[in-house]
Amino acid sequence: MHLAVVVFLSFSAFTGAKIHIHDPSQPVTSDEIVPTGGKLILKCTVEDHDHSSLQWSNPAQQTLYFGEKRALRDNRIQLERSTHNELTISIGNVTLSDEGDYTCSIFTMPVRTAKATVTVLGVPEKPQIFDYDIPLNENDNAILKCTTSGSKPAANIRWYKGPEELTGAKISTSEDTNGKTFTVTSIIEFKVTREDDGAEITCSVSLDSMQGTDKSSTHKIKVLYRPTARIESRPQMPREGDKLQLQCDAYGNPEPEIFIWERENGDLPPSAAYDGSTLVFTKLNKTDSGTYICKVSNRLGTYSTQYKLDVNDPSPIPSTSSIDHAVIGGVVAVIAFILFCLLIVLGRYLIRHKGTYLTHEAKGSDDAPDADTAIINAEGGQGGSDDKKEYFI
């Protein structure tokens, strides 16, 4: 049998350096990690087969395949590829018992072998959440427990409320009865509010050593809380004579079932009647104005809300004729005012420009025998130019 050995000597051989040897007849394998239920691929190769066949054996040293020949009757084991230089087999639906050291051998002189360590991961079972179905009161602390078994190594557990991750969980781990896998328990505690009613709580488990092994469970929690309410008016702007409905919309868990209507500082008016959450006024009157109170209750408490009702007379809508009369009256008043102002101005103008003609006859004119003598005898007369004078006021 021909054996080819290539020896690489370093330049520092005389100083004690290591010698690196490559043996082409040495089979080569690789370690594998596979989850339970998965498919394991075992591959063995050799460069110089020297006309010998490769063989795979399990951890119990049972031959699985010798070349192309099946040696162990296990339908999970299948031949993938067989040549002089390679022997590849697969094992389906892997279990924890498949874990161990597998051996690839080539029967040269001497026989050469290679080990492949197979690690089987225990995929955690679907987690279970406990105590989620117990109703919680508002502001109570929720204490939920999540458990998963069959993980190897021990699984990680994470909690979520909706998309938000919850922190501060307490983790405990115990070994399963098979001695190979673990049971992991996580307990989370957090305060709940009314907004948490119906919130989805998720417990998620995973293995850091392998992707695709995540599993989760999601459940909704119930939170009980006191009711709240508000009153809506239909119509929103009620007027005298209208039919009015006041609707008391209440929210709570459990749902409010008791509704009581009251009027502040007095009894409900005779025209008002209520049926549960609705108070109805058949025909509004000004005397119905006031503050109305709706009280709602569930087993956790009572809540009151108010509505102030103000009933007004309907606003009169003016007719077209009344509008015309108002416009005409305004126009007439303006015209009368303008005429009055014009009369005042005209009167003042006439007074300022009125001429008063005063004639003063000369003294002694009464004794004059004729008009010419009277003119001549007039006092201060200098001809006929000053006999008459005009005065303008």
pLDDT in tens, the chain (393 residues): 343 333 333 333 434 444 446 789 899 999 999 999 999 999 999 998 888 999 999 999 999 999 999 998 899 999 999 998 999 999 999 999 999 999 999 988 889 999 999 999 999 999 999 999 999 999 999 999 999 999 999 999 999 999 999 999 999 999 999 899 999 999 999 999 999 999 999 999 999 888 887 899 999 999 999 999 999 998 888 888 889 999 999 999 999 999 999 999 889 998 899 889 999 999 999 999 999 999 999 999 999 999 999 987 654 433 333 344 455 666 677 787 788 778 787 777 677 655 444 444 444 445 555 555 544 554 444 444 444 444 444
Pairing of strands 32-35, 112-121: parallel
Which of 90, 121, 152 marks a domain boundary?
121
Same domain (yes/no): 160, 194: yes
Tell whether 26 and 102 lie within a shared domain.
yes
pLDDT score recorded for residue 369: 57
Q: What is the pLDDT of residue 212?
A: 80
User: Domain for residue 317, yes or no?
Assistant: no
Q: How far apart are CA 55 and CA 72, in angstroms?
A: 12
Inside any domain, residue 264: yes
Asked if 132 and 197 sit in the same domain, the reply is yes
Q: Quick one: 67 and 142 in the same domain?
A: no
State the pLDDT at residue 312: 78
Cα(22)–Cα(8) distance, integer angstroms? 8
Which of 191, 221, 251 is the C-terminal boundary of a domain? 221
Q: Is residue 324 a part of any domain in this protein?
A: no
Kindly state whether residue 1 falls inside one of the protein's structural domains. no
Residue 215 lies in a domain: yes
Q: How many other C-beta atoms are found inside a 10 Å radius of the C-beta of residue 103?
A: 19
Indicate whether 338 belongs to any domain: no
Same domain, 116 and 11: yes
Instruction: Give the number of domains in the chain.
Output: 4
> Are residues 150 and 65 part of one domain?
no
Domain range enclosing 13: 6-121
Mark whether 290 and 379 lie in a shared domain. Answer: no
Asked which of 97, 121, 145 is the last residue of a domain, the reply is 121
112 found inside a domain: yes
In degrees and rounded to multiples of 5, residue 341 shows phi and psi of -65, -40
Q: What is the CATH number for 19?
A: 2.60.40.10
Residues 221 and 194: beta-carbon distance below 8 Å:
no
Q: Are 116 and 87 part of one and the same domain? A: yes
Indicate if the alpha-carbon torsion angle 205, 206, 207, 212 is positive or negative.
positive
Q: Are 242 and 292 members of one domain?
A: yes
Same domain? For 80 and 175 the reply is no
Residue 316 lies in a domain: no
User: What is the number of other CB atoms lying within 10 angstroms of the CB of residue 169?
Assistant: 18
* Whole-number pLDDT of residue 344: 80
Do 231 and 301 lie in one domain? The reply is: yes
Residues 294 and 200 in one domain: no
Question: Half-sphere exposure of residue 132, counting CA atoms within 13 Å on the CB side?
Answer: 22
| Residue 137 near residue 224 (C-beta atoms within 8 A) | yes
